Amino acid sequence: MTPLQDLDLKQLEAFAAVISAGSVTAAAKALDRSQPAVSRLIQDLEQSLGYPLFIRNGPRIHPTSEALQLHQYVQKALLSLQQIRLRAQEIGSQQHRPLHIAATPALAAGLLPLALASLSLQNKVQIISESAEHTAHAVISGEADIALCSLPLEHHAVELHWIGQSRCAVALPQDDPLAAQEQVTLSDLAGRRLIAPWNPLRLRGRFEKALKKLKTPLHETIETNSSANILSCVRAGLGVAILEPVTAWGMPLAGVIIRPLEEEIPYFFGVITPQGRPLSSAAQSLVSALAAAAATLLPGFQQLPAAEHPRVMRLINQDS
């Protein structure tokens, strides 16, 4: 076994390409190398690691469990290296630095485009759509210049610029009898199948507690980690959904009717940047544009100062 400090970048690139492409032939084409050269790089990497990465079955290969575990780290390292290359080129040519934005999927799709459309950005924009936890980490690690994320947002390494508050809404199939109402109550949802986000630690836990207080029984739940999946399930008639307002009002889908929820279940989100790092003019403009876009998009939107975070967290914890 070769010492691990001798791992070669070309070996890692070949490994990642084979995983992504599904075969050595396709990986060789993507890397503009010969198939024997890619095969040799993989063999050398396996020798360095001391364990097989692929199971060979004639012309077909399948990644081992070790390969799949390793791939997530190799992929991140190669992406980071690519970012270094791009930043080095931009510094040398004095180009506008790309604006790196991280956001949860709902905020990335429902609010961010509206804010970006209001700006005359000369910068290249890169959007990272991740879970709330990973979105905050993207700012902490310096991967993102600015992020939009649901609360909580407590970390010493981030600066919270403002907190947004708006009420949750209900998504219904267009032919649902409740669609004829101006607004929907939690009691109206009794006995209905609920399409819900799977994470009980954020919004779902809060509306489930509200339903229990009203003793509103629901049918079995369909769970998903995607707002788009929730809307698609509602459109297919699989159930109804209590949605955070950004998805409800910012991602209209034909066949789905959005109605205000009579009971107030507030949704909180915030805009954060790295603590202590000077903001670019593009990031500063986006902080303001996001607030303006939220005020336009979300009914009853309130922009709260960052100092309100402790009070908001007490409210969230009380409702959870």
Over residues 106-155, the pLDDT tens digits come to 999 999 999 999 998 777 899 989 888 889 888 988 889 999 998 877 66
pTM, whole model, 2 decimals?
0.71
Beta strand extents in 131-255 (DSSP E only)? 146-150, 158-167, 169-173, 195-197, 222-224, 241-243
* pLDDT value at residue 123: 76
Q: For residue 81, what pLDDT is reported?
A: 84
Residue 298 near residue 249, CB atoms below 8 Å? yes
CA–CA dist 188, 295 (Å, integer): 29
Fold held by 99-164+269-319: D-Maltodextrin-Binding Protein; domain 2 (3.40.190)
pLDDT of residue 93: 59
Segments of the chain scoring below 50 in pLDDT = 1-2
What pLDDT, on a 0 to 100 scale, did the predictor assign at position 203?
72
Q: What is the pLDDT of residue 141?
A: 84
What pLDDT, on the 0 to 100 scale, is given for residue 2? Answer: 47
What are the structural domain ranges in the chain? 4-92, 99-164+269-319, 169-264
- Candidate CATH numbers 3.40.50.720, 3.30.300.30, 3.40.190.10, 3.50.50.60; the one for domain 169-264: 3.40.190.10
Give me the half-sphere count of Cα atoms (radius 13 Å) on the Cβ side of residue 283.
25
Q: Specify the pLDDT at position 85.
A: 77
Count the neighbouring beta carbons within 10 Å of the beta carbon of residue 89: 10
pLDDT of residue 257: 97
Report how far residue 244's alpha carbon sits from residue 148's, in angstroms, rounded to the nearest whole number: 14
The CATH class of the 4-92 domain is mainly alpha
- Check for a shared fold between 99-164+269-319 and 169-264: yes
